[in-house]
């Protein structure tokens, strides 16, 4: 039966299917990537290998004849129509391929495979002797389309009645005459000279654009005659058919676009603001690693923009037109995280959706899967992730079948994974699998020279989002922002500027509009931040953290209680 991509069930699509279903010539359509969009039963019988669904597969996997595959791909590249003669096990065939264009761009190709064995044999017998003339003429006279045969001198030796009626001539008036005197704009004599078939080309006859084919007849390696066919249908019918195909292709691209808007990366390297040497070096590293499929680990404190870099990495890679799928490993409990990542089969657990469900790995096929907060992933899930990194395979929940997935993995965390490995809460083998290419995003306090650029960018972004006129910032306020230690990094800067835009009554933001903390509170915040960093660096060991900060045990414990901080050891 006719096989077609699932583009809906519109009336136009059903009509197109019906037209192609009854065509006894083999027809195949591919898109610009060489993927089969559709083929009819005649093509399946003649050239398709195997019984698998053809639509959606590369043409080289579907069509058994290499010359047909090469011709289709050549038309995609050259944009020119091509006709080739083929000697196949079932006989002699003509394969004609032409490009499908939209707005002067080649978006696919359509090929027709026509079995010319019976006609060619009959014509060779006619040229060889008169014994089969009557039978051949009877056959040709009953063909609805126009048929003309010329000898090696381009003189008409056969002209069927249908063609005579169309031109308003009698057979005795045309036989023996040069073909160019009978048919306007003919190229039959050219085909005799070149020996090359011209399939389904447009020819102007009696004020109509007609579809014509011209085929040379060989005997003993020499062209001895030529046969021409004319389809008695105006070319506008073909144009209507092509417009239907074009509309179906447009629908396909629309749905692909909708999918990319849902699963697409929103940011590029241009959205990463910063001219400091560290940021410039980091962006250059992203450009380099984007070209490969290596796993990338993004490290940085909260609010530094790790997700922004993941988006930019995807958009700079060859996978940019494929999905970008984000999963926050800290946002879901372990039982739900497994189903979210790997999917599940029907009946895998109580409440499982009928028919099962694909997971984020499968949804990201061909693209990038971004695992944020990878340090929060449970140990049992880490082993499943490790298997994917080693084998590029996953298993759905409740299923023992392996599924191959082509996905680039990008992970991010604000945790110290090496320390977590030492404490036994993160798998060492997974750490080394993730630690292939590392992007370390610097905290804002280590690139203070970028703060003026960030402030200008964020004020424009926030003003546009809030519907306010764009405001500037007073130098004193900017100096204050540049001197702050920013424990919340760029995210905290954005929040402070949003507050300032809400409370400011002037066109310029002053220091009065900023949440200036009293000196004591600022010192406490800084002290608390330093204690947290010391505890993180020592794996939560309080004695080691106190020594690292150079304070006594008693004073350190008092500060832990004052700031309500918890640590082991």
Considering the domain boundaries, does residue 1 fall inside one? no
Q: Are residues 70 and 152 in the same domain?
A: no
Considering the domain boundaries, does residue 250 fall inside one? no
Is there a contact between 360 and 369 (Cβ–Cβ < 8 Å)?
A: yes
Q: Are residues 379 and 278 in the same domain?
A: yes
Q: Which two tokens stand for residue 518?
A: 């009293």
3-state DSSP percent of the chain in helix, strand and coil, to 5: 45, 20, 30
Which CATH number do you get for residue 559? 1.10.10
Instruction: Give residue 399's domain range.
Output: 269-440
Q: Are residues 170 and 54 in the same domain?
A: no
Number of domains in the chain: 5
Q: Are residues 105 and 161 in the same domain?
A: no
Owner of token pair 């014994």: 131
Considering the domain boundaries, does residue 283 fall inside one? yes
Q: Identify which of 345, 355, 268 has the alpha carbon closest to the alpha carbon of residue 314.
A: 268
| Distance in angstroms (rounded) separating the CA atoms of residues 298 and 282 | 11
Angle ∠(500,503,509) on CA atoms, nearest 5 = 45
Owner of token pair 């949804």: 363
Query: Would you say the C-alpha torsion 532, 534, 538, 542 has a positive or negative sign?
Result: negative
Considering the domain boundaries, does residue 4 fall inside one? no
What is the 3-state secondary structure of 349-379? CCCCCCCCECCHHHHCCCCEEEEECHHHCCH
Local confidence pLDDT in tens for the 569 residues of the chain: 344 444 444 544 454 454 445 456 788 899 999 998 888 888 887 777 654 678 888 988 888 888 889 999 999 999 898 888 888 877 888 888 999 888 888 999 998 888 888 777 766 665 555 555 566 666 666 666 788 999 999 999 888 888 888 888 888 888 999 999 999 999 999 999 999 998 878 888 887 778 888 999 998 889 999 999 887 655 455 556 556 666 777 666 655 555 555 556 788 999 999 999 999 999 999 999 999 999 999 999 999 999 999 999 999 999 988 899 999 998 888 878 888 899 887 755 555 566 578 889 999 999 999 999 999 999 989 999 999 999 999 888 878 888 999 999 999 999 999 999 999 999 999 999 999 999 999 999 999 999 999 999 999 999 888 887 888 999 988 888 888 888 889 999 999 999 999 988 888 998 888 886 644 566 677 778 888 888 888 888 888 888 888 888 888 888 888 888 765 55
**Residue 117 parent element (H or E):** helix 117-128
Asked which of 232, 260, 290 is the last residue of a domain, the reply is 232
Q: Are residues 412 and 294 in the same domain?
A: yes
DSSP character at residue 344:
B
Considering the domain boundaries, does residue 415 fall inside one? yes
Q: Are residues 108 and 140 in the same domain?
A: no
Label residue 341 exposed, middle or buried (CB < 10 Å: 0-12, 13-18, 19+): buried
Q: Are residues 282 and 343 in the same domain?
A: yes
Q: Are residues 501 and 547 in the same domain?
A: no
DSSP character at residue 168:
T
Which CATH number do you get for residue 367? 3.40.50.300
- CA–chain centroid gap for 519, Å, is 54
Q: Are residues 430 and 452 in the same domain?
A: no
Q: Are residues 347 and 430 in the same domain?
A: yes
Q: Are residues 530 and 509 in the same domain?
A: no
Is there a contact between 13 and 7 (Cβ–Cβ < 8 Å)?
A: yes
Strands 472-473 and 26-31, how do they pair?
Answer: unpaired
Q: Which two tokens stand for residue 40?
A: 């009819």
DSSP character at residue 538:
T
């Amino acid at each position: 039966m006719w096989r077609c991509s699932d583009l809906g069930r519109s009336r136009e699509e059903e009509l197109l299917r019906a037209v192609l279903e009854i065509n006894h010539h083999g027809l195949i359509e591919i898109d610009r990537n060489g993927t089969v969009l559709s083929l009819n039963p005649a093509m399946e019988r003649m050239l398709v290998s195997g019984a698998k669904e053809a639509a959606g597969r590369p043409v080289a996997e579907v069509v058994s004849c290499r010359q047909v595959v090469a011709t289709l791909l050549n038309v995609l590249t050259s944009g020119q129509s091509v006709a080739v003669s083929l000697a196949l096990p079932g006989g002699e065939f003509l394969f004609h391929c032409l490009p499908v264009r939209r707005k002067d761009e080649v978006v696919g190709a359509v090929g027709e495979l026509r079995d010319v064995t019976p006609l060619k044999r009959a014509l060779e017998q006619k040229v060889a002797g008169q014994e089969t003339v009557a039978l051949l003429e009877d056959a040709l006279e009953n063909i609805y389309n126009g048929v003309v045969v010329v000898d090696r001198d381009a003189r008409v030796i056969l002209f069927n009645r249908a063609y005579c009626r169309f031109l308003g001539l009698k057979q005795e008036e045309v036989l023996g005459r040069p073909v160019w005197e009978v048919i306007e704009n003919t190229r039959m004599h050219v085909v005799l000279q070149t020996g090359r078939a011209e399939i389904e080309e447009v020819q102007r006859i009696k004020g109509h654009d007609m579809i014509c084919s011209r085929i040379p007849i060989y005997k003993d390696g020499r062209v001895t005659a030529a046969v021409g066919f004319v389809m008695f249908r105006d070319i506008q019918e073909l144009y209507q058919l092509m417009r239907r195909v074009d509309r179906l292709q447009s629908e396909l691209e629309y749905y692909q676009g909708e999918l990319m808007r849902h699963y697409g990366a929103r940011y590029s390297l241009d959205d990463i603001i910063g001219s400091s040497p560290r940021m410039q070096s980091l962006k250059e590293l992203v450009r380099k690693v984007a070209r490969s499929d290596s796993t990338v680990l993004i490290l940085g404190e909260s609010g530094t923009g790790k997700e922004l870099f993941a988006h930019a990495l995807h958009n700079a890679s060859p996978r940019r037109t494929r999905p970008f799928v984000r999963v926050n490993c800290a946002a879901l409990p372990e039982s739900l995280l497994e189903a979210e990542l790997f999917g599940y089969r029907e009946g895998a657990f109580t409440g499982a959706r009928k028919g099962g469900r694909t997971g984020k790995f499968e949804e990201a096929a061909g693209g990038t899967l971004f695992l944020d907060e990878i340090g929060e992933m449970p140990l049992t899930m880490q082993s499943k992730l490790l298997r994917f990194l080693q084998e590029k395979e996953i298993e759905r929940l409740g299923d023992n079948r392996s599924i191959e997935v082509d996905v680039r993995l990008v992970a991010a965390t604000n945790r110290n994974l090496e320390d977590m490995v030492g404490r036994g809460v993160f798998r060492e083998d997974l750490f080394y699998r993730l630690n292939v290419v590392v992007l370390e995003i610097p905290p804002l306090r280590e690139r203070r020279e970028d703060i003026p650029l960030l402030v200008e960018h964020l004020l424009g972004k926030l003003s546009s989002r809030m519907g306010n006129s764009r405001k500037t910032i007073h130098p004193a306020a900017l100096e204050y922002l540049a001197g702050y230690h920013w424990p919340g990094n760029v995210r905290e800067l954005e929040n402070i500027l949003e507050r300032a835009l809400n409370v400011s009554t002037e066109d310029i933001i002053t220091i009065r509009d900023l949440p200036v903390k009293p000196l004591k509170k600022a010192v406490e915040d800084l002290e608390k931040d330093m204690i947290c960093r010391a505890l993180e660096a020592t794996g939560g060991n309080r004695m080691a953290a106190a020594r690292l900060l150079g304070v006594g045990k008693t004073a350190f414990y008092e500060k832990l209680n004052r700031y309500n901080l918890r640590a082991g050891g």
